[in-house]
Amino acid sequence: MEIISDITETQDRCLATRASGQTIAFVPTMGFLHDGHLSLLREGRKRGDLLVLSIFVNPTQFGQGEDLDHYPRDFERDESLARAAGVDLIFYPSAEAIYPAGYATYVTVEGPLTTTLEGACRPTHFRGVTTVVAKLFSIVQPHVALFGRKDHQQLAVIRRMSADLNLPVDIVGMPIVREVDGLAMSSRNVYLSPAERQQALVLSQALDRGRQLVADGVREVAEVLAALHAMIDAQQDARIDYLLICHQATLREQERIDADSVLLLAVSIGKTRLIDNGSLLNPQDF
Ligand code: PAF
Q: What is the pTM of this model?
A: 0.94
Output the CA 220–ligand 1 centroid distance in Å. Answer: 34
Which residues span the domain enclosing 258? Answer: 187-285
Q: pLDDT grade, residue 235 (50/70/90)?
A: very high
pLDDT tens digits, 182-217: 999 998 999 999 999 999 999 999 999 999 999 999
The whole-number pLDDT of residue 286 equals 67
Q: What is the mean pLDDT of the chain?
A: 96
Contact (CB, 8 A) for 285 and 159: no
| Helix 152-164 vs helix 125-140: crossing angle, to nearest 10 | 60
Q: Quick one: DSSP state of residue 239? A: E
Q: Is the pLDDT of residue 81 over 70?
A: yes
The whole-number pLDDT of residue 283 equals 64
> Are 23 and 149 members of one domain?
yes
As a whole number, mean pLDDT of residues 24-28 equals 98
Q: pLDDT grade, residue 226 (50/70/90)?
A: very high
Q: Is the pLDDT of residue 124 over 70?
A: yes
Pocket test for ligand 1, best of 154, 159, 176 (most atoms within 8 A of CB): 154
> Are 144 and 11 members of one domain?
yes
> Are 142 and 16 members of one domain?
yes
Q: 182: closest CA among 205, 199, 159?
A: 205
> Are 150 and 194 members of one domain?
no
As a whole number, mean pLDDT of residues 164-190 equals 96
Contact (CB, 8 A) for 128 and 103: no
Q: Which sequence positions are flagged as catalytic?
A: 37
| Position in ligand 1 atom list of the atom nearest CA 129 | 9
Flag whether 246 is in a domain. Answer: yes
> Are 170 and 232 members of one domain?
no
Q: Is the pLDDT of residue 68 over 70?
A: yes
The whole-number pLDDT of residue 44 equals 98
Choose the final residue of a domain: 149, 174, 199: 174
Residues 6+ apart with CB under 8 A from 46: none
Pocket test for ligand 1, best of 133, 146, 186 (most atoms within 8 A of CB): 133
pLDDT above 70 coverage of the chain, percent: 99
Flag whether 181 is in a domain. Answer: no
Strands (E), 62-140: 89-91
pLDDT tens digits, 97-112: 999 999 999 999 999 9
> Are 157 and 208 members of one domain?
no
- Ligand 1 — pocket residues by CB below 6 A? 28-30, 58, 61, 129, 132-133, 151, 154
Q: Quick one: DSSP state of residue 204? A: H
> Are 17 and 159 members of one domain?
yes
Output the CA 29–ligand 1 centroid distance in Å. Answer: 5
Q: Whose CA is nearest to atom 6 of ligand 1?
A: 29
